[in-house]
Amino acid sequence: MNRNIFIQQLSFGLILIFLFACNSSTSDDKKVDNEKGQKNTFFDEVDLGAFGSDTKLFLNARFSECGEWGGHEEKMIVFAKSDKEFYLNYQKFKVNCDSIGDYYGTPEFQKLELQKTIKLNQDNKKSISEYIERMAKSKIEERFPGHAGNSFSVVKSDSSLIINVYDSKQYDFESYNKLLMELNLPLISQKKQ
């Protein structure tokens, strides 16, 4: 009988040792797990142009500082090059609300004010992904603003992602400005109508 108790206790002890050994991890293991969790899988160079694909991600914003006539536009194009790195082309246009009646609908209405290309780092990619998540949330809460709202869009050129938000929520304006700040681009001041 003593032998059976000894074997049971030994088996139980071995099981406990095995469980603790399997559960323990080094700080290096935890670091690797955290890095895996932080990997941004949205940015895949194959999907965004690195291997000859012409697919791009467009982030556009149109503001309403001229009321129902609209306002200035901003455009961002994200793409990958053959070096498998991601880049962002940024264009900011300006409008003159005082002469809008003369130029509305013509190329002179939107005048290029700033153009810049930046190479995206991991933080920039994370900022863009988080902005896309905020836009998806905003789309769910979108309310039609009448004739004088702001428009924000996220479109992948292969049409696999399309988010277009047209409203007057402060949330969208702040979300866009947060993206600009994180990309070191000039912020937009909100003009009251």
pLDDT tens by residue, the chain, 193 residues: 555 555 555 454 445 454 445 555 454 544 444 444 455 567 766 666 656 678 899 999 999 888 877 889 999 999 988 888 899 999 999 988 887 766 666 657 788 999 999 999 999 999 999 999 999 999 998 877 777 789 999 999 888 899 999 988 899 999 999 999 999 999 998 764 3
Q: Are 90 and 75 in contact (CB under 8 A)?
A: yes
pLDDT value of residue 14:
44
pLDDT value of residue 78:
95
pLDDT value of residue 158:
87
pLDDT value of residue 179:
98
Q: From CA 31, how far away is CA 169, in angstroms rounded?
A: 39
Within 10 angstroms of residue 94's Cβ, the number of other Cβ atoms is 13
Kindly state the tokens that stand for 68: 């129902």
DSSP 52: S
* pTM of structure: 0.74
CA distances from 180 to 91, 107, 170 (A): 12, 25, 15
pLDDT value of residue 67:
81
pLDDT value of residue 71:
86
Q: Nearest 10 degrees: CA dihedral of 77, 185, 118, 95?
A: 50
The residues, any chain, with a CB within 8 Å of residue 59's CB and separated by 6 or more, are 75, 76, 77, 78, 128, 131, 153, 154, 179
pLDDT value of residue 134:
96
